[in-house]
Amino acid sequence: MFFGTGVVACHTRLPRLSEQGRHEEVVARAGQARILPRGKAARAWARSLVALGRTEEARAVLLRDFRKHAELPSLVALADLEAAEGQTGLAAAHYARAASLETDPLAGRRDVCELFRRRAARFLAEGEALAADLDLRRVAMICPKGKSSADEVQWRADRALHEEVVAAAKIQARAQRTLVGCEGERCRPQSLAARAQALTQALAQARAAGPAALREAAARLAVQLEPSDVAELLAAELRGELGLDLVDLDELRGWIGESAAADVVAAADARVSQLARDYVRLRLAQLGPGYELPGDDAARSTASTVIRLLDAADDDPGAAAMSWRVFVLLGDLPSAEMALTGSLGGGTSPGRAAAVDEDLARETTGERGGERGAKRGGGTKMSSGTGGTAGAAGDAKRSAGTGGAAAADARRPAEAGGTTGADGNAKLSGGTGGATVRTDMSSGPGATGPGQRLVPPPALWSARVAVDASTLPRLLQLARLRGAAGRRDQAVAIAAWGLAEGQARGVPAIAEEAAAEARHELAAGRPWAALALATVVRSAPTDDVVRAAGSALVLEQAACGERCGDADDRAAVSQLFGETWLLEQERRAIESAHARAPASPRGAACPLLAESLAPGASGPLAATLRRARAEGLGAPELGEALRGAIEADLTLDCAGRIAVPLMYAADTRVAAEALADSLAHVPQEVAAGQLALQSELALVLGRRDHADQLAQASAAASADPLAVWRRAARMAEWIDARHYELLALRQLLLHGVDGPEADAVRLRLTVRAVRDANDAWAPRQAEAGREALIRGVESYLAEVPPARRWHAREALAFALAEYAWTDEQAAALVRAALWPDLAVVLTHPAGFRRLERAFGGDVPGVTAPALAPGQLAAELAPVTPLGDPRLTRGKDMSKRAGPQGPGEKSMAKGAGSAGQGAKDMAGGGPSGPGATGADGAGRGLPAEAEAFCAVDAMQPARLAALRGLSGPARVRAAAALATTGDAATRKQALQQLVAGLAPQRRGAVLDAVIVGLAAAPGREAAPMVVSDDDLLAIVFGLVRDPARQPREIKGQDG
């Protein structure tokens, strides 16, 4: 007892020693003592530590003294030290804690009152009015009204601010009690019948607006259609009423959904013409197994169907104008071009025909004979010199694809508008500008010349027709075919001519047509062609594409220094318009690309991430972000710098939203734990943002229960709990924290999310449940658990409106394929849940193959069709070996993808015979003539898909193909996706772009992205990066790391 008293008595000398400047002695004495100093001695120890530059140790001493001995002056001293060091956010929190315990230690402290006033104003701007009200009440207690005139002015300003805060606080309190927006039954989820009825009404409205509107609605709503709608839409496609993009096979499968192909055939027999019936049968036959057609062998024969379609084209000029689609479907692009050329020349005058013959006679003497083989399968070849068909003269026969029989005589329309060479075979003019430009654009008696002088007539004579509403789409289709043949100069010339003439002649909806075609070029990685097409028809829609094209050029210049090689579309535009014109339009496009505001801010009080990343930005957060960009997330002491940036933020949350994800990515657990412990002693803080910050810190540290409780407290304190739970769901998805994500997603549904967001939440909940096949005991070891997992998928699909179930199953397969799977037992569980029988597998070839590649295998002997972008994306997806990535990062996980163990065999039996059949389709690796490597790379996309599949449908395939590209081609492809894709695609494309660049070039690209660029994801322009979360992930390469998935052990720190 006396020894202890003596030690404490010795500590009484520490304050005097510290005042004398003997700091080393103070620190030595305190550090060697068996009982650490407390009270005044502890504060003296802290002062000496600060004098020696050991500020963090001083903070720890003061915090310990308050925590262990309830020394309130030590807490005030800690806040004073933090305020002096610029850590104003944490200082304000500690001052608030001291004031909540006792106001006397802070009485009369004007500096503290001013800090509370500033924080109250920030809280009010962030929507935290209740927290602002508490700060102003603290000001009134600590700094009462004085008698001087300055005190009177300050009191009036405080009173005015407080009145504003009280009004906002009442609104926030009312929102906390009543959950604004959920009054009555507004947050109750819609019943299945109500959702199905809403879809039916939306489709009825679209059906009344016409075939194009119905097609757009089916894609937007992700629904299947009635068999009669499918038949009529295919007939409308044959007539050219659905636009320039063909209906790809994946889109057609989505239309049919869970219906039978025989029902579509029956509807076609009852509702459309004989020609359209044959076309419907041809389209359905290309879907392959799972879509069997009714009738005898002759009726089901694809070859017979093709023969009937081509015979009808020979007999009927109207049908001849449609026959080019048949050739495109068969992969015979040269024949499609010949058929389309013939339909354009149906009314050629004698003078024009003579000019065509004269031009052809001159061109064929110098015609290049080189031929370009088809990119897929060694099929049809296209002439690179003239665009005519390569091979024998006269008739050409084509295999019907699925049946293998000869299809028909592919007759080349040489009469009417077709051009005929000296040997009598049909040919297409391949001139590039050497021919004399004529002004006779006549397509009939009395026709006049060009309606404008901006764009010269194309050198290809078959494209020189009078432009109207009927010929413009065919001209644009001809331009796409010329581009697929490698004649980019002719493609640009024809498209620009058609659009310019269409505007001059008053073709309806020419601006929308020009914007769509320009966006098609931009999505294909041809920004100069897109710029040219959008410039010839100036309007609001095309101006959006001009800005997006300028963004693509900015990215290319930043990634390559100047231009990424010699682009063929740039040469074509320069040849058509001249280099001076091109440089001027390029300059304007680049200027307009930068003339956009960055992504919308989170709130008026918080600065944008782009502002903090700007070169001239100041402050702790900006300095830390610059350092992280320069040195990487592995920079020394980065965690402490991020912690300091949060502590310097007056309300902590603005910087915390940015710094906490970086702390997790950099694995700075020590700094995160220190910050979490500091905030644990300020329970009086009621701001929702601060509580959410503490919840995220607990999540990063693996404190599951603490994270859950703080997230619930944050939502309860917020006037907008939906925003809190959305933030929690994003963080949980990135960290891959199962329990936290389930909590956030369920709360989102309980708080009334609806529409597409509710569908996405339900999908994520199902994905989470199915992923339990990886490591949960019940699904892997108990029959009841396996049954529960399977029934969970069935319940999810049962709660989806019937019209959406095909799309929901497909989306679930693609979502599951994004995650790692531990072993074959987990794969068997997923197969049993998702593919109940072989018939379901056959109607989901893209989803099934994508998932099999995620399981480390593939579907052997299968090559994705050219006009099936979803299957192309699955074919190009990486093959991911089975194995638990948490075990080790360096281990070769492919060794774990072995044969089934004992548990897997029983699982296959539980799935039923049909499920086993689905599993039997999965092989150990790709094979066949079109097989790719194990990583899905190795070739480009088919010309048919690039030319005639919709831009939005091609995004997954182009993103998958991006992995196999390098050099300038990779830069152009990434820039194309970054300017035309949806928000998620743009983010991934930019991440892949910067990941493959040298540090200097990477910095230039990121600087351009931070400034803010434009994109054209649809009919309206949008910022390239839509949120700070996406920008943070792009700049710092934040991706979900499967190896860091936290273990879900309740109550245990990770």
Q: How many domains does the chain have?
A: 2
- Cβ 511 vs Cβ 539: under 8 Å: yes
Q: Measured between alpha carbons, how far is residue 826 from residues 619, 666, 772, 774, 911 in Å? A: 49, 31, 9, 5, 13
- 4 has pLDDT over 70: no
Could you tell me which residues are beta bridge partners of residue 427? 419
In this predicted structure, what is the pLDDT of residue 253?
96
Tokens found for residue 825: 């037992």
Report if residue 948 sits inside a domain: no
- The CB-side HSE value for 371 (13 A sphere, CA atoms) comes to 13
- 973 has pLDDT over 70: yes
Q: Determine the 3-state secondary structure of 886 from DSSP.
A: coil
pLDDT tens digits for 188-202?
Answer: 888 899 999 999 999
- Which among 104, 139, 100 is positioned nearest to 118, based on CA atoms? 139
- Cβ 346 vs Cβ 417: under 8 Å: yes
Indicate the range of 309-323, 485-499, 764-778 predicted with least confidence: 309-323
Domain boundary among 178, 209, 228: 178
CA 565, distance to chain mean position in Å, is: 28
- 629 has pLDDT over 70: yes
Report if residue 660 sits inside a domain: yes
More confident residue, 542 or 464: 542
Report if residue 60 sits inside a domain: yes
Lookup result for tokens 């024009």:
352
Cα separation, 502 vs 408, in Å, equals 36
In this predicted structure, what is the pLDDT of residue 616?
87
Sign of CA dihedral 510, 513, 519, 525: negative
- 898 has pLDDT over 80: no
Report if residue 861 sits inside a domain: no
Cα separation, 886 vs 767, in Å, equals 19
- 244 has pLDDT over 80: yes
- Cβ 335 vs Cβ 389: under 8 Å: yes
In this predicted structure, what is the pLDDT of residue 699?
94
Would you mind telling me the total number of residues written for the chain in this entry?
Answer: 1054
- Cβ 206 vs Cβ 214: under 8 Å: yes
Tokens found for residue 608: 């944008």
Long-range contacts of 209-216 (CB under 8 A, 24+ apart): 210/241, 211/236, 211/241, 211/242, 212/236, 212/241, 212/242, 212/243, 215/242, 215/247
pLDDT band at 589; cut points 50, 70, 90:
very high
In this predicted structure, what is the pLDDT of residue 371?
37
- 474 has pLDDT over 50: yes
Indicate the range of 33-47, 107-121, 839-853, 901-915 predicted with least confidence: 901-915
Read out DSSP for 480-494?
A: HHHHHTT-HHHHHHH
Indicate the range of 164-178, 576-590, 901-915 predicted with least confidence: 901-915
In this predicted structure, what is the pLDDT of residue 594?
80
- 305 has pLDDT over 90: no
Which range marks the domain in which residue 31 is found? 2-178
Domain boundary among 178, 201, 228: 178
Could you tell me which residues are beta bridge partners of residue 420? 426
High-pLDDT (> 70) share of the chain, %: 82
Mean pLDDT of 372-385: 36
- 961 has pLDDT over 50: yes
- 215 has pLDDT over 80: yes
Cα separation, 832 vs 907, in Å, equals 8
- What's the CA dihedral at 453, 457, 463, 467 to 10 degrees? 10
Provide CB contacts within 8 A for 667, sequence distance 6+: none
Mean pLDDT of the chain: 82
Domain boundary among 633, 663, 680: 680
Report if residue 199 sits inside a domain: no
Provide CB contacts within 8 A for 931, sequence distance 6+: 863
Tokens found for residue 523: 């999505």
- Other CB atoms within 10 A of residue 204 CB: 12
- Which among 762, 770, 569, 735 is positioned nearest to 664, based on CA atoms? 735
Helix axes 471-484, 333-344, angle to 10 degrees: 150
pLDDT band at 939; cut points 50, 70, 90:
low
pLDDT band at 349; cut points 50, 70, 90:
very low
Lookup result for tokens 């997992």:
789
pLDDT tens digits for 1015-1041?
Answer: 999 888 899 999 999 999 999 999 888
Report if residue 616 sits inside a domain: yes
- 915 has pLDDT over 70: no
Cα separation, 454 vs 501, in Å, equals 9
- 1048 has pLDDT over 70: no
pLDDT band at 431; cut points 50, 70, 90:
very low
Look at strands 419-420 and 406-410 and give their pairing.
unpaired
Report if residue 640 sits inside a domain: yes
Predicted model pTM: 0.84
pLDDT tens digits for 648-681?
Answer: 999 999 999 999 999 999 999 999 999 999 898 8
Look at strands 406-410 and 396-399 and give their pairing.
antiparallel
- Provide the 8-state DSSP code for 681: T
Judging by beta carbons within 10 Å of its beta carbon (0-12, 13-18, 19+), is residue 581 exposed, middle or buried? middle
- Cβ 575 vs Cβ 489: under 8 Å: yes
In this predicted structure, what is the pLDDT of residue 448?
55
Tokens found for residue 323: 């026959």
Cα separation, 1024 vs 1015, in Å, equals 5
Residue 1023 dihedral angles phi and psi, to the nearest 5°: -60, 145
Cα separation, 859 vs 847, in Å, equals 11
Indicate the range of 48-57, 300-309, 541-550 predicted with least confidence: 300-309
More confident residue, 1049 or 264: 264
Report if residue 146 sits inside a domain: yes
More confident residue, 461 or 952: 952
- Which among 703, 705, 740, 706 is positioned nearest to 724, based on CA atoms? 740
Tokens found for residue 230: 């499918």
- 394 has pLDDT over 70: no
Cα separation, 405 vs 449, in Å, equals 47
Question: What is the CATH number for 21?
Answer: 1.25.40
- Cβ 77 vs Cβ 634: under 8 Å: no
- 365 has pLDDT over 70: no
- Which among 797, 916, 936, 929 is positioned nearest to 857, based on CA atoms? 936
- Which among 991, 965, 966, 969 is positioned nearest to 978, based on CA atoms? 991
- Cβ 494 vs Cβ 482: under 8 Å: yes
Cα separation, 62 vs 49, in Å, equals 11
Sign of CA dihedral 211, 213, 214, 218: positive
pLDDT band at 261; cut points 50, 70, 90:
very high
In this predicted structure, what is the pLDDT of residue 101?
92
- 369 has pLDDT over 60: no
- What's the CA dihedral at 943, 944, 945, 948 to 10 degrees? 120
pLDDT tens digits for 834-869?
Answer: 999 999 999 999 999 999 999 999 888 889 999 999
Tokens found for residue 287: 């879907």
